Amino acid sequence: MDFFDFNFPIRIAMPTAWESHIYRQTVLIVLSIIFVSGAIIFFFRNRNYYFVQSWASIKSWLIAAPLMFIVMGLPEPWPLVFLTALAILGAKIFFQIMGMFHRSNFVMICYAGIIGLGICAWYDRLDVYNSMPMMVLGASCLVPLIRNSYKRMIQYMSLTLLAFIFLGWSFMHLGLILKFPNGVYQVMYLIILTEFCDNTNLAMGRYFGGWRMFPGINPRRTVGSFAVSVALTIFLAGSMRFLLPDGSDKYWLASGLVASLGGFVGDLVMTVVRRDAGMKTVGPFIIGRGDFLHRVDRLIFVAPIYYYVMTVIL
């Protein structure tokens, strides 16, 4: 197949996820958990730091979760368009944290690259998809020549490529997962598991202490809270395995481990980026805890690892 041969196919209208009783059942279960958890934590929201953070997170998801289910339940290609828009929003926040959002040439190259990844995911062109980082780097290298300037250009090119790798190439693996059997369910499965693991780790930090794993980066992450959050996430992965195309043990165990371990690394890496840049958040995510990048930083690592693990074992 030619490198640029995208074979624009005539696609038959696909049924929406809303037509599946499994999807509706999942929406009902997840929203019920969020609302019940919110009702309980509401009465303890001012008790200590951990409940304050948990309440802030639940407030976000009381709004974000219904919106996510509505969009992910739409027919193709809207779920993929939605993920591409989220990737661009994440890249925007990354550039704001790095203080180079005003460098519009580099920002637009990154956005164009992310849109290109969405198109590659739509047309199943993994070969072009994996070539996109080199294309973005090549385009970024032309900016100093066009602007006839060299000051801080190495820094701008490096940060543009880093933003594209994190928020583009890595995050958009969710778009590739959409092409898996029950792809929409698997994407929701990952989002639920990673968010659950993050909140559980935070909530358990008060009650399960022990050795602080990375005190110089995030002193709240202890061995005890980490172990409990991993165990509970794996338990949730097993409880929701009906969302996977194959509910046998190796699939949900792999999913739970990838969501908890990969998400843990993603959270720490983005914490390093934020702290080195000297900026903790860039505005709140709707009305909750942290900004939008806080909500997706775990998926940056979880999505590509999950994609390749499932490609091997499926």
Q: CA 182, 305, 100: angle at the middle one, nearest 5?
A: 110
pLDDT class of 284 with cuts at 50, 70, 90: low
Answer whether residue 107 shows pLDDT above 50: yes
Mean pLDDT of the chain: 83
Better-predicted residue by pLDDT, 95 or 53: 95
Give the percent of the chain with pLDDT over 90: 31
- d(Cα 306, Cα 259) in Å, to the nearest integer? 8
Answer whether residue 287 shows pLDDT above 90: no
**pLDDT confidence of residue 37:** 73
**pLDDT confidence of residue 314:** 67
Better-predicted residue by pLDDT, 3 or 167: 167
Answer whether residue 240 shows pLDDT above 90: no
pTM over 0.75: yes
Better-predicted residue by pLDDT, 19 or 84: 84
**pLDDT confidence of residue 27:** 82
- d(Cα 101, Cα 83) in Å, to the nearest integer? 21
Q: Report CA-CA distances (Å) from 6 to 1, 39, 127, 134, 223.
A: 9, 50, 11, 19, 48
Provide the H-helix boundaries in 73-207. 78-98, 104-122, 126-147, 153-163, 173-177, 183-204
Residue type, 54: S
- Count CB neighbours of 93 within 10 A: 21
**pLDDT confidence of residue 20:** 78
Do residues 192 and 30 make contact, with C-beta atoms less than 8 angstroms apart?
yes
Answer whether residue 291 shows pLDDT above 80: no
**pLDDT confidence of residue 50:** 65
- d(Cα 52, Cα 245) in Å, to the nearest integer? 37
155-179 pLDDT, tens per residue? 999 999 999 999 999 999 999 999 8
**In which region does residue 286 sit, left (phi positive, over 0), alpha (psi from -120 to 50) or beta (all else)?**
left
**In which region does residue 124 sit, left (phi positive, over 0), alpha (psi from -120 to 50) or beta (all else)?**
left
**pLDDT confidence of residue 294:** 78
Q: What is the DSSP annotation of 168-180?
A: IIITTHHHHHTTS
Do residues 298 and 267 make contact, with C-beta atoms less than 8 angstroms apart?
yes
pLDDT class of 1 with cuts at 50, 70, 90: very low
117-159 pLDDT, tens per residue? 999 999 999 999 999 999 999 999 999 999 998 988 999 999 9
**pLDDT confidence of residue 83:** 93
Better-predicted residue by pLDDT, 169 or 223: 169
Both tokens assigned to 209: 């202490």
Both tokens assigned to 71: 């969009």
74-100 pLDDT, tens per residue? 888 889 999 999 999 999 999 988 888
Q: Which residue, among 91, 165, 76, has the nearest Cα to 121 in the 3D structure? A: 76
Least confident range of 70-79, 149-158, 238-247, 300-309: 238-247
- Residue given tokens 């949730």 in the structure block: 236
270-282 pLDDT, tens per residue? 888 888 887 666 6
Least confident range of 13-22, 84-93, 96-105, 255-264: 13-22
Crossing angle of helices 49-72 and 183-204, rounded to 10°: 180
- d(Cα 90, Cα 95) in Å, to the nearest integer? 9
Answer whether residue 188 shows pLDDT above 90: no
Q: Which residue, among 164, 45, 60, 183, has the nearest Cα to 121 in the 3D structure? A: 183
* Distant-in-sequence, close-in-space partners of 279: CB < 8 Å, separation ≥ 6: 96, 97, 99
